[in-house]
Amino acid sequence: MTTQRKYFGTDGIRGCVGDPPITPDFVMKLGWAAGRTLAGMGKGPVLIGKDTRISGYMFESALEAGLSAAGVDIRLLGPMPTPGIAFLAQNTRAQAGIVISASHNPYQDNGIKFFSGDGKKLADEIELAIEKELDQPFKVVNSDQLGKVRRMNDAPRRYIEFCKTRIESRLNLGGLKLVIDCAHGATYHIAPNVFEELGANISTIGINPDGFNINHEVGATHPEKLRQQVVNTGADAGIAFDGDGDRLIMVDHKGEIIDGDEILFIIASVKPTALNGAIVGTVMSNLGLEEAVHALNLEFLRTSVGDRYVMEKLYQDNLILGGETSGHIINLHKTTTGDGIVSALQVLEAMIRSSKKLHELKAGLMKYPQKMINVKMHRPIDPLQLDGIPDVIESAEHQLGEHGRVLIRSSGTEPVIRVMVEGPDEVQVSQIVRQLADEIETAVARAA
C-alpha cells in the first residue's frame, strides 16, 4: 500500500461504524469526491450495491447524496455480492461500481470499495485522485445538473444468469447434494438460485439476514454449522461464502474443511497447461500448495496478502489463476475479480468431470501444519520494529529449520498483528506460534 494514501487500504476504506472515517458525513463527501473524479473520465451512472448489515441503508443514502451533488447519475442495486457489482459495472457500461461492505467482519463494521467500469479494482492513481478531492470544499452542482437516481430491479437475476454461464452449458449439477451457507450476507438471495437452477439438490444455512447477524457463527469464517449439516445430511459438499460473497470455503463429504489453498489447487489441476506456466498465491499460502503446484509443472509466485496484490501480479505476469488461503480465488478466464459462487462452480465442475469426490480431488495437496494467532493493537504498529521482536523471530526460524516459516504482519483490514508459523511438526508449530504471540503482545503493550 502506497504511503501517500490517507484513507484507502488494501480493500477500500473500512472500520467501525460511527468512528471516523466510517461516518455518514465522510461517506457523503467520499461519494461527492468520487463523483467529481469520475465525472471527468466519461459518462454513465455509478452503481451502488451493499451487503446486508444494518448500516448499509445509511451509507447508501450518504453515497447517493454525495454522488448526486457532484452531478452523477446513480443506479441502486440493493443487496448484492461484491463480484456481482463488479460484473454489473462492466455489463451495464457504468462509470464505476461502489460496494458498501466490510466483507467477513461483524455487523458493527462497514466499508466502501470501488470497481471501475471494466469490473476491476480502481487504479492507485484514481484512488489518490479521490483522496485529493476529499480535501476540497464541498460544492453542489446547479440544480439542473444534479444526478438522478433509479433502482435496478433486475440486478439479482442478471448476476444469477452470469454465474450460471461460468460452467459449460451442457453441464449440470444434477445428482449433487449440496449445503449452501450464505453467512446471512449478500449471497442469500443469489447463491441458492444459482445452484438449484443448475440442477443441484440443496439445503441452506444463513439465508435470513436481519441487519445484525451477517457472518455471526456462519459463513466462510465460521464453517462449524456447515460441517455438521453436510455430515448429518450425507451431502456431497458444503459451500460457505463470507458476507459479501467474494470469499469461498468448502467442506467435503467427511466434514473436512477445504480452504483457499486446496480450492486453488483443485482448479489448477483441471487443466494446468492452460495457466501460462504459473499460479499466484500469497505469503500466507501453505508450503504444501507450493510443492503441489510444482508437481503440476507450474511455478508458484507469492505476493503480499490481499486480493489486490494477487490481481496485480496476475496482470503483471500475464497469468490467469491466483488466490488466497482465506478463499479469495481469481480466475481471469471467468471473472474480473474474486467470486465465491463462480469459484465453487469450478470446483463442482471438476468433481463432475473427474467423477471424484471433493475429498479425493484435494488428495494431491499435503498441507504443512500452519497456526495463526491475532494480537490486538490499539494503533498502527510495524511489528518488525518492536523492541526485541526481530531476535525472537530469528530464534523461531532457527528452531523450525529449512522446512518451516514464520510470518509476522499487520492486517490490512483489522487492528491486529497476524502471527503465523508453519512447519512439519504440528506440536512444535503450536508451541512456537504461542510463544511468538505472547512476546509480541508484551512488546505491543510496552509500545502503547
Q: Which domains can be identified in the chain, with CATH numbers?
A: 13-153 (3.40.120.10), 159-364 (3.40.120.10), 370-447 (3.30.310.50)
CB 393 within 8 A of CB 426: no
- Is the distance from CB of 337 to CB of 119 less than 8 angstroms? yes
100 membership: H or E segment, kind and range: strand 96-100
CA distance readout (Å), 300 to 185, 260, 328, 417: 33, 15, 16, 26
377 DSSP assignment? -
Cβ atoms of 98 and 114 within 8 Å: the answer is: yes
Residue of 55, 68, 101, 103 marked catalytic:
103
Count of CB atoms situated within 10 Å of the CB of 251? 25
Which amino acid would we find at residue 120? K
Query: What is the reported pTM?
Result: 0.91
Handedness of CA 163, 220, 52, 63 (dihedral sign): negative
| Tens of each residue's pLDDT in the chain, 448 residues | 445 688 998 789 999 999 999 999 999 999 999 999 987 666 789 999 999 999 999 999 999 999 999 999 999 999 999 999 999 999 999 999 999 999 999 999 999 999 999 999 998 899 999 999 999 999 999 999 999 999 999 999 999 999 999 998 788 999 899 999 999 999 999 999 999 999 999 999 999 999 999 999 999 999 999 999 999 999 999 999 999 999 999 999 999 999 999 999 999 999 999 999 999 999 999 999 999 999 999 999 999 988 889 999 999 999 999 999 999 999 999 999 999 999 999 999 999 999 999 999 999 999 999 999 999 998 888 898 888 999 999 999 999 988 899 999 888 777 899 999 999 999 999 999 999 999 999 999 888 7
Cβ atoms of residues 79 and 128 within 8 Å: no
**What CA–CA distance (Å, rounded) separates 75 from 249?**
31
Q: Decide if 343 is catalytic.
A: no
Question: Rounded to whole angstroms, how far apart are CA atoms 446 and 439?
Answer: 11
Q: How far apart are CA 97 and CA 117, in angstroms?
A: 7
Amino acid at position 410, single letter: S
